[in-house]
Amino acid sequence: MDSKKIYLTKDGLSELKKEHEDLTKLKRPEVVARVSAARDQGDLSENAEYTAAREELSFIDGRIDELEELLKEVVLIQGNGHSHKAVDLGSTVTVKVDGRKEEYTVVGEFEADPTAKKISHESPLGKALLGKQVGETVQVEAPAGKIVYTVVSIQ
């Protein structure tokens, strides 16, 4: 894995740590026990439970390794230290688009969730908003054409 920084809010970091803990302390031990129990059943060449448990263990170990690498590269987004003068990582931005107001929080790519109005700082809208101040407008290319957003407030 390259040494690309992983930007997360406190909540995002907490979720990653919780997933890591669940995998290492709960799920992995359960699957190891399943592998052991299946191994005790005898002939492994025809033991579907053994094969399935080994595959699940391999998947869990891979995810644990991935999470440990991610956690090494985390840069915590300080949401409350902003001056609120310009959009930055962790900012919650209210924009006006097509006559209506929309609110987005700019987060790192691993925490992005468009359905929860959390947009990545690397998304077209996120990139366009970074550094902008109240009153400024940005244009974002979309499949339907250019969309104009006006920054109304920054929190």
pLDDT in tens, 136-154: 999 999 888 999 999 999 9
Q: Tell me, what DSSP letter sits at residue 86? A: S
| pTM (global) more than 0.75 | no
Residue range 29-69, pLDDT digits in tens: 999 999 999 888 877 777 888 999 999 999 999 999 999 99
Fold classified for 79-154: Chitinase A; domain 3 (3.10.50)
* Bridge-based pairing state of the strands 145-154 and 100-107: unpaired
**Which structure tokens are listed for 141?**
């290319």
What is the pLDDT at residue 95?
Answer: 97
Q: Residues near 39 by Cβ (< 8 Å), separated by ≥ 6?
A: 50
At residue 79, the pLDDT reads 58
Instruction: Answer yes or no: same fold for 6-76 and 79-154.
Output: no
User: Token pair of 56, please?
Assistant: 């699940």
Domain coordinates of the chain in residue numbers?
Answer: 6-76, 79-154
> Which fold would CATH assign to domain 6-76?
Helix Hairpins (1.10.287)
3-state secondary structure of 102: strand
Task: Give the rounded percent of residues in the chain with a pLDDT score beyond 90.
Answer: 70
Q: Is the pLDDT of residue 107 over 90?
A: yes
Q: Closest Cα to residue 13, out of 72, 62, 91, 64? A: 72
Question: What is the side-by-side order of every strand in the sheet holding 100-107?
Answer: 118-120, 100-107, 92-97, 145-154, 137-142
